[in-house]
Amino acid sequence: MDTVWPTQPLDAARLGRPSRRGATAALEAHIAVLRGEPLKAALANALRDADGLGGQERRFAALVVRELSRHQRLLDLAAKLLGHPPGKLVLTEDQALVRYALWRRIFCGEGWTRIGPEVRLPGPVRPRTLKDEVLQKVVESPLPEAPLPDTHAERLAVRYSFPNWLVQKLAQAYPESVLEGLLSSLDEEPGLHFRVRPPGTRDAVLAALQEEGVAAEAVLAAPDAVRVVDASHRIFETRVMKTGRLQVQDVGSQLISEVCRPVGGSLQGLTVADVCAGAGGKTLALADFVGPTGKVLAGDRSRRRLAEARERVRHFSLRQVAFPHPLPLSEADVLLIDAPCSGTGSLAREPDQKWKLNAAEIAKYQTTQSELLDEVSRQAKHGALVVYATCSVLPDEDEAVVEGFLAKHPEFTLEPVADVLGAERAALAAQGPYLKALPPRVPGGGFFAARLRRTGQG
């Protein structure tokens, strides 16, 4: 690694339409993030309050908000080298303006001719102490080469804008070749992936999309996964989408549902308990797998998220899904625990989270995960399959939780996920007995799962 600065500008097709109004919405949202608001909520509020934004401008604003958090460390390093470190900037608005100008310069390859109209006074945010001449100098002054840190892990942390402590943790778990690919993938705007419905109809759906002029392709890692090749988002207007043949779902998330299948069989007619159903993404997939003769029992501690799951189930008219409280776990053939976690595998979608996490938070998650696995497993009937899953790439929340559980529960046996995935997909997405869906080998976010079979009495 000779430089920490990106060598290629972002693909212009993914930008949407840059504009002063779009920049204003993006900056308002980023300022809210800097003041502690979750990125998704800050963006939703900014777009709601923005007047007259077109679809491509909204797309630009949404990308910018994620990018400013995603590359925060690198942008602040550039500001420091140019004489404007964040600590010297008086207002949060000033920090946001400098980051925006540097992002447009470094990651989009733009000069002051394009950037100036987007940030000049008056606006796009007030109050501010920075004059237009200062921002112009930030854009036009030669960018010094950043001094490279001594250790490889810290160089990667700077280049891909991650906290040192997190990269050091990951460096203990993954070889250098895997680590850089993982960090690079989590530092990029994620692609758009879908699950085909019903299962096993991917070729027909791809053909139908082609007829409607949407470029998409199969993803080898999961049997029903497709990726949209173009960046137009026209897929949401297609007949295929409107008739319920596609569900937005990350590839690794689809693989977790696959791991719930019996070896050499299907879930048709079985009962599955989705213990942490959240907004219902895996609930929908499991409902398709069990079919009209099976049952999916969905629950979650968050009423708000479960309400979203109910709405999605109604939208797809899935009568085999129920939301009993409490969940009758002893009736289930399969119990999926998609446990609360740090979300380190989803940082490409929620980049603000990497600046909010710390080692103490990871330890708290591990305690919660272990307690939840203990609690659910006690209610599993003999022969039931418990699938423990996270969207974390940290072994503390993954293998360590499973190994700690097995040490206390000899009545459970660990089953290799390769027995379900098959050799070809296991080569991409398995590590030992576990599902380890890591980008870029598996596109999208990072996911983990383990199959725990109750074979004895506890």
Note whether 214 and 220 are within 8 A (CB). no
Q: Is the separation of the CB atoms in 49 and 28 below 8 Å?
A: yes
pLDDT band at residue 112 under the 50/70/90 scheme? very high
Burial of 242 (0-12, 13-18, 19+ CB in 10 A): exposed
Q: Return the percentage of the chain with pLDDT > 70, whole number.
A: 99
Assess whether 391 carries a catalytic annotation: yes
Query: 348-386 pLDDT, tens per residue?
Result: 999 999 999 999 999 999 999 999 999 999 999 999 999
Closest CA to 369 of 413, 407, 404: 404
- State mean pLDDT over 235-263: 95
Report how far residue 155's alpha carbon sits from residue 212's, in angstroms, rounded to the nearest whole number.
45
Best CA proximity match to 270, nearest among 379, 374, 383: 383
- Which amino acid, one-letter code, is at 170? L
* Percent of residues, the chain, with pLDDT higher than 90: 88
Contact criterion met (CB below 8 Å) for 440 and 184 = yes
Is the preceding omega at residue 199 within 30 degrees of 0, hence cis? no
Between 22 and 231, the higher pLDDT residue: 22
Please check the confidence at residue 1 and state whether its pLDDT lies above 80. no
Residue 410 DSSP SS3: coil
Do 234 and 214 touch, CB atoms closer than 8 A? Answer: yes
Average pLDDT over residues 401-428: 96
What's the pLDDT at 51? Answer: 82
Q: How confident is the model at residue 7 (pLDDT cuts 50, 70, 90)?
A: confident
Q: Which tokens hold the place of 329?
A: 């776990």
Average pLDDT value over all residues in the chain: 94
pLDDT tier, 209 (very low <50, low <70, confident <90, very high otherwise): very high
Is the per-residue pLDDT at 388 higher than 90? yes
Residues 314-332 have pLDDT tens digits of 999 999 999 999 999 999 9
CA dist., res. 110 & res. 213, Å (int): 32
Using left for φ > 0, alpha for ψ between -120 and 50, and beta otherwise, residue 52 falls in left
Whats the size of the chain, residue-wise? 458
374 marked among binding-site residues:
no
For residues 100 and 82, give the distance between their C-alpha atoms in angstroms, rounded to a whole number: 14
Helix (H) or strand (E) holding 375: helix 359-378
CA 10 to chain centre: 20
Position 23 pLDDT exceeds 90: yes
Measured CA to CA, the distance from residue 210 to residue 440 in angstroms comes to 26
- Residue 332: per-residue pLDDT: 98
Instruction: Indicate the residue type of 81.
Output: L
Query: Is residue 458 pLDDT above 70, yes or no?
Result: no
- Mean pLDDT to the nearest integer, 148-174: 94
Of 227, 223, 200, 337, which Cα lies nearest the Cα of 282?
337
Q: How many CB atoms lie within 10 A of CB 404?
A: 15
396 assigned to a ligand binding site: no
Q: Sorting pLDDT into bands at 50, 70 and 90, what band is 87?
A: confident
pLDDT at 403 over 80: yes
Rounded mean pLDDT, 441-451: 97
What's the CA gap between 308 and 263, in Å, rounded? Answer: 31
What is the largest distance, in Å, between two alpha-carbon atoms of the chain? 74
Query: Could you tell me if 341 and 390 are in contact, meaning their C-beta atoms sit under 8 angstroms apart?
Result: yes
pLDDT over threshold 70, residue 202: yes
Q: Taking the CB of residue 379, how many other CB atoms lie within 10 A of it?
A: 18
User: Among 40, 91, 35, which residue's Cα sits nearest to residue 65?
Assistant: 40
In the three-class reduction of DSSP (H, G, I as helix; E, B as strand; rest coil), residue 29 is classed as helix
Q: Which listed residue (260, 276, 341, 391) is catalytic? A: 391
pLDDT of 233 over the 90 cut: no
How confident is the model at residue 89, as a pLDDT?
86
Q: What pLDDT does 150 receive?
A: 86
Q: What is the DSSP string of 287-334?
A: HHHH-TTSEEEE--S-HHHHHHHHHHHHHTT-TTEE--SS--GGG-SE
- Taking the C-alpha atoms of residue 157 and residue 175, their distance in angstroms, rounded to an integer, is 15
The C-alpha atoms of residue 213 and residue 215 are separated, in whole angstroms, by 6
Tell me which residue of 44, 50, 48, 86 sits closest to 65, measured CA to CA: 44
Which among 117, 126, 33 has a CA at the least distance from the CA of 72?
33
Round to whole Å and give the CA distance between 330 and 417.
Answer: 23
Kindly write down the DSSP assignment for every residue of 120-161, as one continuous string: PSS-SSSS----HHHHHHHHHS--PPPPPPSSHHHHHHHHTT
Contact indicator for 369, 340 with CB cutoff of 8 Å:
yes
Closest by Cα among 168, 250, 244, 236 to 429:
250
